[in-house]
Structure 1
Amino acid sequence: MSMLNEKVVMITGASSGIGRGAALAVAAEGARLVLADIDASAGEKVLIEVETLGSEAIFVATDVTDATQVERLVNAAVDRFGRLDCAFNNAGIEGAMSPLGDIDIGEFDQTIAVNLRGVFLCMKYQTSAMSKTGGGSIVNNSSVMGLVGAPQVAAYSASKFGVVGMTYSAALDYAEKGIRVNAVCPGGVETPMVAEILRDQPGVLENILAAVPAKRLASPKEVAQAVIWLCSDLSSFVTGSALPVDGGYTAQ
């Protein structure tokens, strides 16, 4: 039996990287999909990919920092499928890679807007929809940088620590309504965003691999499998957790 058979699953940031990997993996588990991304062209391509796998799906171009657009996204899910069972709030950016004092204020604000405000807005409207149909499961994409500190990622780390804190609080707010809220905290993952960082900063990959006990990066599918488990009924008593998917990095 497929783990998400007939469940309605929303994925933001679905056009590439972890989001695309999650969309493909979730489709393979029998779910119906609501895909969202600010990049409409790339998002439509992923829509075709999941439909090829047999998933009934829609794509809604969405800027997760815009409350009106996020509300429209959730409404589109309910209008099409009648309910929303699960959500993977994945949309995010890396932000500035520099010491705190060198970070442009506008870039800091944008990182917080996408990575933290975006998750807040998604959960605000998702919890409302789920409350009307008996509950659901929300998974927020944080990072190992939301669990431990690192140099030159102050804006990104602040946003991802915020996601973990908001996950904990929302889990307590909605437990009695049958809505589970968890986070995944990936380490290094083979995504276009990470590839860009590695290209611009020679030697970073070697440093990352030296710090990871598993001595490799994760694939998007490996993160997706954690998301699928948290969305599925197999994790029915799991809420308020921040699950590292990091090859042992935060165990040290």
Structure 2
Amino acid sequence: MATVNERYLDRTVLVTGAASGIGKAIAAAAAGEGARLILGDIQVGALSDVAALLRSRGTVVHSAECDITSTEEVDSLVAAGSAAVGPIDVVFANAGTLGTPGDVWSYSESEFQRILDINVTGTWRTLRAVLPGMIERRRGTIVATASAAGVIGPAGLPAYVASKHAVVGLVKSTAMNVAAFGIRVNAFCPHLVDTPMLDRVTAEIPGLRDSLDQQTPLGRVATSEEVARSALWLGSDESSFVTGHPLLVDGGLVAQ
């Protein structure tokens, strides 16, 4: 078994939503373990900065603008990245959105559908793009970013909660579909993570951050780096007998 710092040596890793937050942390952690990277995000400037930083550290990186609500852009990222860097070994289907908090009856149909299109159909588009190549090679690992909200039902985020439950279901079904080809598919389910997305939400409500810190038995939100370590474990050979699993990375929230 490879040591922790070389688990991704000579592997090509795709990360969507790689410009910030969890995706950026996953990309940096995989690069630190020897991966070649294919990175996509709609935040082109921030993505370019991430790619430039990782290249300066010696990592081979292909990056491109990718809106996961576009089948063409997802397919293009996978095709161009594979041609430039090599066939994809590990996928972190991470891109997603929280949406605006609100009551289930207060959402417009367009906003509800937008969140589902990004979080659920966007994840499906990513799986659809990478799986034929993995099936042909009879190997590969996929890790989708779900959420603790994919296994419980907190109020006020109906579209997000519905979408993350759907991601967990998609992962389970896909894992059963491709297990015979030697491909593993899992989800990881963080609770609150110290990311720009969380900063935007908490900035609007005084005292919310302190309240959120106290929700978990560990008494704080997670860092992007520790969540990325959990994701990298799922994507590595260290989890070689784990598939169809939603791994909670929630500070004990769901165990309460």
Q: Is TM (by shorter chain) over 0.5? A: yes
Provide the C-alpha distance between the structure 1 equivalents of 2:88 and 2:53, rounded to a whole number of angstroms.
21
CA contact under 8 A between 1:83 and 1:133: conserved in structure 2? no
Alignment of 1:211-222 (within 5 A): 211-222=215-226
2:84 equivalent in structure 1: 80
- For the pair 1:25 / 2:40, whether they are aligned, the reply is no
Letter in 1 for 2:51: L
Runs (4+) off by over 6 Å: none
The structural deviation recorded for 1:231 is 1.1
The structural deviation recorded for 1:53 is 2.3
1:235 equivalent in structure 2: 239
Deviations 1:185-218 (A, max 9, x none): 0111000000110111223223222220000111
Alignment of 1:165-204 (within 5 A): 165-204=169-208
CA contact under 8 A between 2:38 and 2:85: conserved in structure 1? no
CA contact under 8 A between 1:24 and 1:49: conserved in structure 2? no
CA contact under 8 A between 2:185 and 2:244: conserved in structure 1? yes
Provide the C-alpha distance between the structure 1 equivalents of 2:183 and 2:75, rounded to a whole number of angstroms.
18
Provide the C-alpha distance between the structure 2 equivalents of 1:51 and 1:235, rounded to a whole number of angstroms.
28
- For the pair 1:91 / 2:84, whether they are aligned, the reply is no
Alignment of 1:1-252 (within 5 A): 1=3, 2-252=6-256
Provide the C-alpha distance between the structure 1 equivalents of 2:141 and 2:90, rounded to a whole number of angstroms.
5
Provide the C-alpha distance between the structure 1 equivalents of 2:130 and 2:167, rounded to a whole number of angstroms.
16
TM-score by length of 2: 0.96
CA contact under 8 A between 2:60 and 2:85: conserved in structure 1? no
Unaligned residue ranges in structure 2 (runs of 5+): none
**What count of residue pairs does the alignment treat as equivalent?**
252
TM-score by length of 1: 0.97
Provide the C-alpha distance between the structure 2 equivalents of 1:215 and 1:5, rounded to a whole number of angstroms.
35
